[in-house]
Structures are given as structure tokens and as C-alpha cells.
Amino acid sequence: MAESSKAPHGAMLRIRNLKCYYGRIQAINGVSLSVRSGEIVTLIGANGAGKSTLMQAICGLLSQWEGEIRFRDKPLRGKKAPEIVREGVSLVPEGRWIFPPLSVMDNLRLGAYTRKARSERKSVAEDVEAMLELFPVLRERARQAAGTLSGGEQQMLAIGRALMSRPRLLLLDEPSMGLAPLMVRKILDTLAELREKGLTILLVEQNARAALQTADRGYVLENGRIVLDGPAADLLADQEVKRAYLGKDYREFTEGRV
Amino acid sequence: MRRIVFLIVILAVGLAVDNPYRLQLLTIVGVNTMLTLGLNMLMGYAGQISLGHAAFYGIGAYTTAILTTHAQWPPLLALPAAVLLTAVVALVVGFPTLKLTGYYLGMGTLGFGMIVYILLREWSAVTGGASGLVGIPPLAVGGFTIRPGRDYFYLVWLMVMLLFIICERVVDSRVGRALRAIHDSEKAAAAMGIDTIRAKVSVFVLSAVFAALAGFLYAHLISFISPGSFDFMMSIRLVTMVVIGGMASIWGAVLGAFILTLLPEWLHVFADYEVIIYGSILMTVMIFLPQGLTRGVLDIYERSRHKFNSARSAASQG
């Protein structure tokens, strides 16, 4: 019984000793992490820690890397973005990358680009409907150019668009960037809701507190290395994390340095 | 509905115009429209510039010309050969070139256009060199010959309409959305799972096939071709037609081809000053209507309607 309940909770994404390069510059120095099925895992770190690089390596948008990335026990090495999307990994990129001149509807439909079979037509239409249900603001603006949406609406659109490929694993790169706290809350609540429906999520954030409050587990990335990991609640309480990412004891920290 | 209007206009113009010179001119407008429709898919929708598009036009025209004169093939058999050869060349050229972006893609396609032009001019044994190829037979389907004039006008414009419908369908499809996404951001398109290189090469081949068709129809219309019709200036003229008409607008492609083909004819009255006036018109359009004529005229209409409405509501309040 214990065995069979354990099986579906095996690692969905497993990264071992990942090293990423931009030409000669090494942005990731041997990162290992795993995301189990049904989990929300967050990866926190400052600007330039290598978070986005890691995300792009998983999605096949960055080809120069060493080490191992396995998704559902299959290695992702050598696979390009279209194939990885079809495998069930979808990215909500940093800065959203929506298509401003295209309508909200067209943006959503583009998310289902890999579902090209004629037989999928109906289910794609149903999913568009489901996204408009999930984010009612988008329904009001369905015919509008995506560039006319507010920042929060654009983030919703980016998430909806990523879900259109019916991913098993959703990667989000700084979804809270540039959003008001209320909107951040709303987005993170939506993620928790999606997890309840069975989605697995890897969330990259600079907004450490909000991310750790939503996540089950967390990793702290610094200068291309994982320096800390554990259950989200532990990380929230951790002195080091507090000092560096949660803005506590800021004075103590700077005075100690000077 | 718009298609029916389009069809009626074609029929009406064909019946109304009797002057053979004008009919020929309007037929050439049709040929140029086919070229701009294809280039607009590549430039306007997918956002990939081509400064060598006349090369595909030339390959299409020369293939049919060589096959029907030297090898005595019937034109109907030369058509698939011309289209196929152009498509293969586009595929071979497209893969390495479309990895380039921006200025570099412009340079790459420019180089390709030059190479084809020089090949047409210097390979005299086959292409007739600078003096060109004469005696290209008219189109014949079965025992029925389509002579330049009204019949040819109808043939070309029905083809235009067919390509027009193809463009409309592509634009509204999943592939069309992908092209617009690539135009906006290739990286974001790739993150959606779009194979960007493949999509770009496909639309490149599509636009080349349109150009080959135009070349085929042009060769059998004029019955004489020379490299000068497919040189760098022709490529530039095609780009101008797309830009003036309005990028990413199928109607814009039609309008651009229409205006830029007819404008030089209208400007003949200015004799020596023709080129200056031609250039000034292009500059004026680009400065005041940077989105092209279709979008620009629509914007002016919207603005004036808005002004009119607000003036009216102010008047009724006062």
C-alpha cells in the first residue's frame, strides 16, 4: 500500500549536477534539484543567481549545458523546445513574453500550438473556455490586443497561455515581478488552486516570502549554486534566508559588514 | 461577401476596358499583386525581410521560358516544373539564410538575388544572356489558346483571387498565428513550442511559389524575357509595394502593387521630372502614413469620424 501510493509521487523533474554556459561564462555551477509530482517547489535567489538560466535550460531554450535533466524519467538532453512542450513542460517566462499586437484569444490559442491534431480542436476550444473561466478578466478583453492589458492581466494571460499546452509541469519565472502585492497574492492563490487540480509547479521567485508561503519546498540559489534547501516552512524561519531574502535584520546585516 | 465584390470588380473591369495596352497593364498589375501577396506573408506577417525576391520570380519565368522554347514542352507541363524548381531553391536557400535576422537576413537575401541575376545574365547558352529569351509560346490549354488581352487578364486575376483566399486562410490559421508570434518575438514563439526555423522556411517557400507562379504567367504574357526584369531594383520595388500598401494586410499588398505599377504610367506626363515626383510621393506616404496606405487611410477615417461625432454631440449639448 505504501509502495503503490509512493509511486505516483516519484520525482517528476530531476536535475543532477547541471552546469550552464553563455559562451565561456558559467552561469550555473552544478545544481541538483528535484520536483515531485503534485508539489509546488520554489527556487529563490537574487538577480543574477542563475534562476532564469536554469528555467531556460529545462525548456530547451538554452542548449549549452552539461549534467542531467530528466523529466518523468526521460532525459531531456538534445531535445528542442517544441518537443519538450509536447512532453508536458510549459514555461511562463520572466517578463511574460506575451505577444502584444495579437489579441488575447490568439495569445491563448498560441499556447496550444503543439496540439495540432484535428481531433484536438474541440478540446483546445474547451481549454480556451476554461482559461476564460479561470481568469474572467481575460474574457472581457478577449478581442483586445494583449499589449493593452495591465501588468497583472498580462501575467494571467501568460499563465493561461502556458496552461493551454496541458502541461504536467508548469515553470514560472518571477510571476510577481512588477505587480502590486494584491495581484501577487491572487496569482499565487491561483497556483495553489492549480496544484489542487494535480498540476506540478516549479516557481522561481525573488519575492521569497510570498513564494515560500505558497510552496511545499524550496531551494536557495546563489551564484549558480544551491546553498540551502528544505521544506518551505523551515526556510521561512531560517536566519540566513531571513537575512538575505526576507528583508529582516537589514540594519544588523549592514552594520555587521561596515 | 468581400470575395464576391472582388470577383464582380474583376469581371466589370475586364468588360469595361477595351484598350489592349490598358488590359496588358492591368494584367501586369495582377502579376505584381501575386508577388506582393507572397512577399507580404513573409515580410508583413512573419517579419522576415527579403531583398532578393525577384530571384524567385526570375527562376519561375526562366524555367518555363527555357522549357517551352529550347525543349518545346507544352506550357502546362512547364508550370509544375517551374513551381517545383523554385520551391526547391527556396528550401535550399531558406535553411541557412533564415537563421539570420534583421540586417543580416537582408544582406543574405540580397546576395542570393544578385547571384541569380548574374546567373541569368551570364549563362548565355541557356538563358540567352543579357539579350534574353524570345519566342515564348502563349498559354494553351488543350486546343484552346489564352492570348494576351481580355482572356489573359481574367486568368491572371482569377489566380490572384485564388492566392488571396489562400493567404486569408493561412493568416487565420494556427500557422498564421505562429507567424505573427515569430514576427513579435522569436524566443517567445519558441517557448510556445513553435519550431521557428521550420515555420520561417515554410512561409519563405510559400512566397517563392507565389513568385514562381507570377513569373510563369509573366513569361507567357510578354513572350520575351530578359534579366533586367528580375534584378535588384525589382526586388526593391516589391518590398516598396508591400510597405506602401501596408505590411501585414492582404488588401495592402493588392493596393501597393496597384499603385506602384500604375504610378509610373500616370507620371509620364511629368517627363524628365517623373523620378523625382515618384520618389516624393513614396517619401510623403512613408512620413505621413508610416503604417502604409490601408492602415493609414483607415486611421484617418476613424479619426475624422470621431471628430465629427464629438463635434455633433457638442453641438447638440450647446
Query: B115, B127, B118: which is closest to B89 by C-alpha?
Result: B115
Q: Who among A99, A106, A114 is closest to B188 (CB)?
A: A99
Domain assignment of residue B303, yes or no:
no
Q: Does B99 touch chain A (CB under 8 A)?
A: no
In this structure, are residues A128 and A103 in contact, taking their beta carbons and an 8 Å threshold? Answer: no
A171 vs A17: CA distance, rounded Å? 19
Q: Does B172 touch chain A (CB under 8 A)?
A: no
Q: What is the pLDDT along chain A (258 residues), one digit of tens a residue?
A: 333 333 444 689 999 999 988 888 888 888 999 999 999 999 988 877 888 889 999 998 888 888 999 999 889 888 889 999 999 999 998 888 999 999 999 999 999 998 888 888 889 999 999 999 999 999 999 999 999 998 889 999 999 999 999 999 999 999 988 888 888 998 999 999 999 999 999 999 888 888 999 999 999 988 888 888 999 988 888 877 777 776 644 455 455 454
Q: Does B174 touch chain A (CB under 8 A)?
A: yes
Give B174→chain A minimum CA distance, Å: 7
Question: Hey, which CATH number is domain A9-257, 3.40.50.300, 3.40.50.1000, 3.30.1330.10, 3.30.300.100?
Answer: 3.40.50.300
Question: Most B CBs within 10 Å: which of A97, A103, A154, as the mutation test of the B interface?
Answer: A97
Nearest CA in chain A to B198: A82
What is the total count of domains within chain B?
A: 1
Say what the pLDDT of residue A7 is: 40
Question: Most A CBs within 10 Å: which of B186, B192, B194, B249, as the mutation test of the A interface?
Answer: B192
Nearest CA in chain B to A117: B174
Nearest CA in chain A to B180: A102
A100: which chain B residues are within 8 Å (Cβ-Cβ)? 184
**Domain enclosing residue B45, as ranges:** 2-275
Interchain proximity B177–A59, CB inside 8 Å? no
In three-state secondary structure terms, A79 is: coil
Q: Does B192 touch chain A (CB under 8 A)?
A: yes
The DSSP annotation for B187-240 comes to: HHHHHTT--HHHHHHHHHHHHHHHHHHHHHHHHHHHSEE-GGGGSHHHHHHHHH
Q: Who among A102, A113, A165 is closest to B174 (CB)?
A: A113
Flag whether the ipTM exceeds 0.90: no
The tens digit of pLDDT for each residue in B184-237 reads 998 899 989 999 999 999 999 999 999 999 999 999 999 899 999 999 889 988
Interchain proximity B195–A165, CB inside 8 Å? no
B181: which chain A residues are within 8 Å (Cβ-Cβ)? 99, 102, 110
Give ∠ CA A126-A127-A132 in degrees, rounded to 5. Answer: 100
In this structure, are residues B233 and B240 in contact, taking their beta carbons and an 8 Å threshold? Answer: no
Nearest CA in chain B to A97: B188
Burial of B138 from C-beta contacts in 10 A (0-12 / 13-18 / 19+): middle
CATH number of the domain bearing residue B13: 1.10.3470
Give ∠ CA B189-B190-B196 in degrees, rounded to 5. Answer: 85
Amino acid at B282: L
Mean pLDDT, chain B, rounded, equals: 88
Say what the pLDDT of residue B4 is: 85
Question: Most B CBs within 10 Å: which of A87, A89, A113, as the mutation test of the B interface?
Answer: A113
The tens digit of pLDDT for each residue in B261-289 reads 888 888 877 778 877 888 888 888 888 87
